[in-house]
């Protein structure tokens, strides 16, 4: 029996991947904040306050780090576990449980240490991946793309644009093959028939006796 996936966080992972692969800093900031606030772990208030003060450079650097971690995770899966394992550095934190609206939720306590926004973003991403899994994460099949996407149907490309581009490229290559006749190797001797079918000679080649 296959293990059921927790689909609660699927809706968070798909837009997260799309924004991380983009270059819109405004959308990246909004998506990272959504991951902090709406992720599986209860976010400490001081972390949200720190994130509000982040400048565009911090947003861009952390976005690239999260994306690199996801790509390394997908690469490890596609290579059947061979290669370097993706790793993240975590501050001195305490994992705990909190009660919210009558429900127990996992939480993080910073204790005497100030929890960094980067650390908590990685923790949230880690927990989302743990719950959703990486089975739906794919790398675009286009050789010149390599973007990550969440597979929702039978698809091998991140967008329809990539699929059409590769399809057109394959059609042009097939058309060129049809127009180009097969070339005979230069050293291949072709029998030349004279008169009766049984009476034939090979062509004389220069330098041969």
Residue 46 in domain: yes
- Grade residue 209 by pLDDT with cuts at 50, 70 and 90: low
What percent of the chain is helix, strand and coil (3-state, nearest 5)?
45, 10, 45
Other residues' Cβ atoms within 10 Å of the Cβ of residue 101 = 5
How far, in Å, CA of 67 to CA of 130, rounded? 16
Residue 194 in domain: no
Residue 45 in domain: yes
Nearest to residue 162, comparing CAs of 142, 148, 182, 146? Answer: 142
- Grade residue 10 by pLDDT with cuts at 50, 70 and 90: low
Backbone angles phi, psi at 169, to 5 degrees: -65, -40
185-207 pLDDT, tens digit per residue, is 655 555 555 555 555 455 555 55
Other residues' Cβ atoms within 10 Å of the Cβ of residue 110 = 17
Residue 21 in domain: yes
How many distinct structural domains can be found in the chain?
A: 1
Q: Please tell me the pTM assigned to this model.
A: 0.68
Residue 26 in domain: yes
How far, in Å, CA of 129 to CA of 113, rounded? 26
72-130 pLDDT, tens digit per residue, is 888 888 888 888 788 776 766 666 776 667 776 667 666 444 557 888 898 888 888 88
How far, in Å, CA of 36 to CA of 30, rounded? 10
Residue 1 in domain: no
Residue 43 in domain: yes
Residues paired with 121 in a beta bridge: none
Domain that holds residue 22: 7-87+116-162
Residue 96 in domain: no
Q: Which residues contact 175 (CB under 8 A, 6 or more apart)?
A: none
138-171 pLDDT, tens digit per residue, is 888 888 888 888 887 788 888 888 888 888 888 8
């Amino acid at each position: 029996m296959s293990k059921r996936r927790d689909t609660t966080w699927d809706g968070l992972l798909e837009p997260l991947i799309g924004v991380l692969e983009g270059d819109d800093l405004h959308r990246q900031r909004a998506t990272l904040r959504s991951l902090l606030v709406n992720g599986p772990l209860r976010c400490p208030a001081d972390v949200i306050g720190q994130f509000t003060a982040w400048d565009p450079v911090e947003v861009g650097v952390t976005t690239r780090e999260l994306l690199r971690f996801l790509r390394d995770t997908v690469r490890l899966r596609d290579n059947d576990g061979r290669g370097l394992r993706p790793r993240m550095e975590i501050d001195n934190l305490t994992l705990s449980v909190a009660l919210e609206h009558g429900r127990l939720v996992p939480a993080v306590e910073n204790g005497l240490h100030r929890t960094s926004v980067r650390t908590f973003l990685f923790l949230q991403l880690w927990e989302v991946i743990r719950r959703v899994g990486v089975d739906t994460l794919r790398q675009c099949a286009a050789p010149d793309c390599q973007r990550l996407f969440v597979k929702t149907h039978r698809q091998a490309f991140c967008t329809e644009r990539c699929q059409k581009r590769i399809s057109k490229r394959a059609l042009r290559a097939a058309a060129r093959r049809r127009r180009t006749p097969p070339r005979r190797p230069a050293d291949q001797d072709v029998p030349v028939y004279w008169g009766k079918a049984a009476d034939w000679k090979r062509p004389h080649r220069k330098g041969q006796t």
